Amino acid sequence: MTRSAAELRHRVAALLVGVAASIVGLSTARFLQQDACLDAGGRWLATARECVGPAGTIALSPTRGYAIGAAAGLITLVVLWRTFAFFAQRRAGGAPGPR
């Protein structure tokens, strides 16, 4: 394999891993916000991304959801990147890690 093909594979893998981790993080944050809305007795409107209760809009703090979502995204990023690195090293014929 040529060097440019390996670099392209590495860049595409980095892009895919980053996109996957971002999706996991943001959807985790959104699911936690929806759960907080339901716990507060409201109804989640997906199109408006807001929580509506019997007395109007319920204000929810997104801090907890975004913090947990960021942690979930970071964990996903590390796991996917380590998996890619393992298989890339294995494909190159190197030993995967210490023996």
Best CA proximity match to 21, nearest among 87, 83, 74:
74
Average pLDDT over residues 18-34: 93
Would you state the pLDDT for residue 2? 63
Share of the chain above pLDDT 70, in %: 91
What's the pLDDT at 96?
A: 58
Listed residue (41, 40, 20) closest to 83, CA to CA: 20
Report the distance separating Cα 87 and Cα 99, nearest Å: 17
- Residue 11 resides in a domain: yes
96 falls within a domain: no
What total of structural domains would you count in the chain? 1
In a domain, 62, yes or no: yes
Q: Is residue 69 packed enough to be buried (19+ CB in 10 Å), middle (13-18) or exposed (0-12)?
A: buried
On whether residue 98 sits in a domain, the answer given is no
Strand-pairing partners, residue 43, are 52
pLDDT grade for 4, boundaries at 50, 70 and 90: confident
Expressed as residue numbers, the domain containing 22 is: 3-90
